[in-house]
Amino acid sequence: MRAWQVGELGLPREVMRLVEDVPRPVAGEHQVLVKVRAAAVNFPDALMCLGMYQVKPPLPFTPGVELCGELPSGERVIGNPVAGTGAFAEYALLDTRALFAAPEALDDAQAAALHIGYQTAWFALHRRAALRAGETLLVHAAAGGVGSAAVQLGKAAGASVIGVVGGAQKAAVARELGCDVVIDRKAEDFVAAVKEATGGRGADVVFDPVGGDAYTGSTKCVAFEGRIVVVGFASGTIPAPQLGHALVKNYSVLGLHWGLYNTKDPAAVRSAHDELTKLTEQGVVRPLVSERLPFEAAADGVQRVAEGGTTGRVVIGL
């Protein structure tokens, strides 16, 4: 089969190679071989190429952590490939205990972009932060893959959503997603803008996949008894929380490692998928697929996601 492989660590565009004769993976216990129909590009794909992700598969490996595939029976499913097989290939392995039916309301590209981003946003907002209707939700990187999911789910929960983005193009995308307030951090101070938008009260819940200055600024505009959910560090900087500040202002800092639920509480993951499927049927959830690239352009797609210039999800078609 054809598959993209990483034989040495480095920038995706430099180390990802399209190989024409890679052996098809062989399914083991609790595994099934699926024909890949579409693969969504995620930031961890780039980090794996660089050797900077917590999961470090042995070289060479096929990247791609999320896909929509077809079972031998013809049924469409979504899930995360078994480590090492990767979604950027014609075939991949899925764990039969952790595959999910692709929602009928979504096409292949949209379905491929549903699992990681929307599960992450769901657990962050509902399981960790207990977001309530009427509260104010601040979403950093609101036009990105996981940020756009948080915006849609925040609106579905009845929250008022403030989206922070970097640049006018991303601001336009955030408005189309339904943000009540959009702040371009490159044009204005987001801390002051959040305070102004909330009458000085601040945001009840902060969804932060960025870290660095985004986190630090969030501590200055989080509301009394607010909750900051730390989802990732796309900025490349892991902040050091000032716990004295959290004590004085009475806010909480919550961590979210969504992947851990797959082993600690898989029933919760399946329940979240059921809820997300219902929202797709209602038209509330519709993954933002900004680009649909051919298989041959996978390395370029991963590189551009790593550089932070894309919006929504970039999806590789097969």
Cβ partners under 8 Å of residue 214, min gap 6: 140, 141, 164, 208, 235
**Which phi and psi angles does 267 have, rounded to 5°?**
-65, -35
**pLDDT tens-digit readout, 48-68:** 999 988 889 999 999 999 999
H-helix or E-strand containing 97? strand 91-101
pTM, two decimals, is 0.95
Burial class (CB in 10 A: 0-12, 13-18, 19+), 243: exposed
Q: What share of the chain is helix, strand, coil (3-state, %, to 5)?
A: 35, 25, 35
> Over the stretch 21-35, which tens digit does the pLDDT of each residue have?
999 999 999 999 999
- Number of Cβ within 10 Å of residue 9's Cβ equals 14
3-class SS at 82?
coil
Helix ranges (DSSP H) in the chain: 12-15, 43-50, 108-112, 115-122, 145-156, 168-177, 190-197, 213-220, 243-249, 261-264, 266-281, 298-307
Q: CA-CA distance, 86 to 90, in Å (whole number)?
A: 10
Contact call for residues 70 and 127 (beta carbons, < 8 A): no
Helices and strands: H and E segment counts in the chain: 12, 14
Report the relative pairing of strands 160-165 and 181-184 from DSSP bridges.
Answer: parallel
Place of tokens 């049924």: 75
Q: Which residues contact 169 (CB under 8 A, 6 or more apart)?
A: 311
> Which residue in 291, 311, 273 sits closest to 39, CA to CA?
291
Give pLDDT tens digits along the chain (318 positions): 999 999 999 999 999 999 999 999 999 999 999 999 999 999 999 999 999 888 899 999 999 999 999 999 999 999 999 987 999 999 999 999 999 999 999 999 999 999 999 999 999 999 999 999 999 999 999 999 999 999 999 999 999 999 999 999 999 999 999 999 999 999 999 999 999 999 999 999 999 999 999 999 999 999 999 999 999 998 889 999 999 999 999 999 999 999 999 999 999 999 999 999 999 999 999 999 999 999 999 999 999 999 988 999 999 998
226, 212, 86, 12: CA torsion to nearest 10: 160
